[in-house]
Amino acid sequence: MHIHQKPIQTNSLKFFIVDQANNKEIARVFLYLLHNDLHIEPFGFIEDLYVEESHRGQGLGTQLINHVIAQAKENKCYKLICTSRHARELIHKMYEKHGFKNYGLEFRMDFVNE
């Protein structure tokens, strides 16, 4: 048996908010549009939603999530996935408020500092 390789189209997008007072990035999120052979449409994967601690509670995370959801729909994604660590209960509530469901577990392998 031989393992074959086939390039698959992907698209990566970063959305961010800048503090006008000091031109510093204060919030960000990444959206990856991924394809597989099971569906014609892509699926979206959200990573690294982050708001600077001093700017939390101002709705910036909500703005970014709403924007990512709109982008996923505009790109005809059949699903949108996000992951979060177990201890991040506030972010879980925010995701659920926006229609995400706790669908399963994430398994991960880190390669940094090996």
Q: Is the pLDDT of residue 114 over 80?
A: no
Residue 85 lies in a domain: no
Average of pLDDT values for 7-14?
A: 93
Measuring CA to CA, which residue among 78, 46, 52 is closest to residue 65? 46
Domain that holds residue 69: 10-80+90-97
Strands 10-19 and 43-51: unpaired
Measuring CA to CA, which residue among 51, 5, 49 is closest to residue 26? 51
Q: Is the pLDDT of residue 9 over 90?
A: no
- Per-residue model confidence (pLDDT) at position 73: 98
Structural domains in the chain (count):
1
- At 29, is the secondary structure helix, strand, or coil? strand
Residue 55 lies in a domain: yes
Residue 113 lies in a domain: no
DSSP tally for the chain: helices H, then strands E:
2, 4
Residue 24 lies in a domain: yes
pLDDT digits (tens, 9 = 90+) for 25-82: 999 999 999 999 999 999 999 999 999 999 999 999 999 999 999 999 999 999 999 9
Q: Give dist(CA 93, CA 68) in Å, integer.
A: 17
Residue 52 lies in a domain: yes
- Per-residue model confidence (pLDDT) at position 113: 79
- Per-residue model confidence (pLDDT) at position 104: 87
Residue 17 lies in a domain: yes
Q: Is the pLDDT of residue 10 over 70?
A: yes
pLDDT digits (tens, 9 = 90+) for 84-104: 888 999 889 999 999 999 998
35, 78 in Cβ contact below 8 A?
Answer: no
For residue 71, the domain's CATH number is 3.40.630.30
Q: Give dist(CA 45, CA 32) in Å, integer.
A: 5
Residue 37 lies in a domain: yes
Q: Give dist(CA 18, CA 82) in Å, integer.
A: 23
